[in-house]
């Protein structure tokens, strides 16, 4: 027991040095009676517990303000989800109930366009990044719009770019908060990844983000779909993928996109690569020259999508 309390005194002294606390003498006075009361015979654990609890309470009182302040700062900047931890303690013997069936496909209301108009949506994932503004400037100069699927953890540091996206006429949609593979986390954590990002976009721009999001890696399962359905959002993927994250070659990207471009297409790119921005210097004006109107996903698919459904393009919807 004497060793334990002596150790506690050392801990308190260290805490007082780190936190600048002036209560070190009080700590010694507080625990000294416990030392004096120790007899030659070791007390039982039942006798030890109150003294230990009181000493720990004093340590918490001494260092608590610093710990609370630090915790509050972390909480303000990084959403924390405990659902996965809590789920791990639950019994897994029970079979999870089947989610309710998804609603039928509803063809959304779309802006009117002539029969011979060709529309497609350029989309950019994983930003805002170093090259987002350059792509926005190209879209502005040539009269196009796009959809930027942004990572929630980045948006505050790039809030001016997020506002520029909206001001230019493009749109910012969610791409999760941490860029996790959403199929590897539980349903509540999936909901948090989506809603935290949407809330961040709204708080910065004052504009509600569209009611769809894009999961990182395009990864989804029934849990992701059910989470999306319950919070009222659809899943937007793509039907043209030049794999610009893998092929860092502006000429290759240009050739691939121009060859695959089609009316109603959703093209996947990333605004975090220089080669992608370089390719856009030709892709954007040349698509427009070929008669394509570069629109947002909301314009292409309509603003009212069915929650939980998966949209690959204007013509390809997975129920």
* Phi, psi angle pair for 173, to nearest 5°: -125, 170
CB neighbour list of residue 150: distance below 8 Å, 6 or more residues apart:
127, 128, 162, 172, 173, 174, 175, 197, 201
Q: For residue 28, count other CB atoms closer than 10 A to its CB.
A: 13
Given the DSSP bridges, would you call strands 234-236 and 310-311 parallel, antiparallel or unpaired?
parallel
Is 270 one of the annotated active-site residues of the chain?
yes
* Given 125, 186, 192, 198, the catalytic residue: 125
From 126, 186, 270, 271, active-site residue = 270
- Pairwise CA distance, residues 68 & 74, whole Å: 10
Of the candidates 115, 18, 104, 16, the residue with the CA atom closest to the CA atom of residue 61: 16
> To 10 degrees, the CA torsion angle through 133, 147, 254, 116?
-130
**Does residue 251 have an active-site annotation?**
no
Cis status of the peptide bond prior to 19, with omega within 30 of 0: no
Residues labelled catalytic: 125, 270
């Amino acid at each position: 027991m004497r060793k334990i309390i002596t150790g506690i005194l050392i801990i308190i002294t260290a805490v007082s040095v780190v936190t600048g606390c002036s209560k070190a003498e009080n700590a010694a006075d507080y625990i000294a009676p416990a030392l004096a009361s120790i007899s030659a015979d070791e007390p039982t654990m039942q006798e030890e517990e109150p003294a230990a609890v009181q000493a720990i309470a004093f340590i918490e009182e001494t260092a608590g303000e610093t710990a609370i302040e630090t915790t509050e700062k972390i909480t303000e900047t990084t959403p924390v989800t405990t659902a996965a931890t809590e789920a791990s303690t639950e019994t897994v013997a029970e079979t999870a109930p089947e989610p309710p069936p998804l609603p039928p496909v509803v063809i959304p209301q779309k802006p009117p366009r002539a029969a011979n108009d060709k529309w497609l949506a350029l989309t950019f994932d994983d930003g805002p990044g170093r090259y987002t503004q350059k792509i926005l400037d190209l879209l502005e100069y040539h009269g196009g719009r796009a959809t930027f699927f942004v990572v929630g953890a980045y948006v505050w540091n790039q809030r001016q770019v997020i506002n520029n996206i909206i001001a230019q006429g493009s749109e910012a949609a969610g791409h999760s908060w941490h860029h996790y593979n959403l199929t590897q986390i539980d349903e509540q954590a999936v909901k948090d990844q989506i809603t935290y990002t949407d809330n961040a976009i709204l708080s910065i721009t004052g504009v509600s983000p569209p009611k769809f999001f894009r999961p990182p890696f395009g990864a989804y399962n029934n849990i992701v779909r059910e989470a999306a359905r319950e919070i009222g959002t659809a899943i937007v993927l793509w039907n043209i993928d030049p794999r610009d994250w893998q092929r860092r070659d502006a000429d290759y990207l240009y050739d691939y996109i121009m060859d695959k471009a089609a009316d109603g297409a959703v093209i996947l790119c990333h605004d975090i690569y220089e080669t992608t921005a370089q390719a856009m210097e030709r892709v954007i004006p040349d698509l427009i020259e070929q008669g394509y109107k570069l629109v947002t996903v909301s314009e292409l698919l309509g603003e009212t999508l069915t929650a939980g459904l998966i949209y690959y393009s204007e013509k390809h919807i997975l129920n």
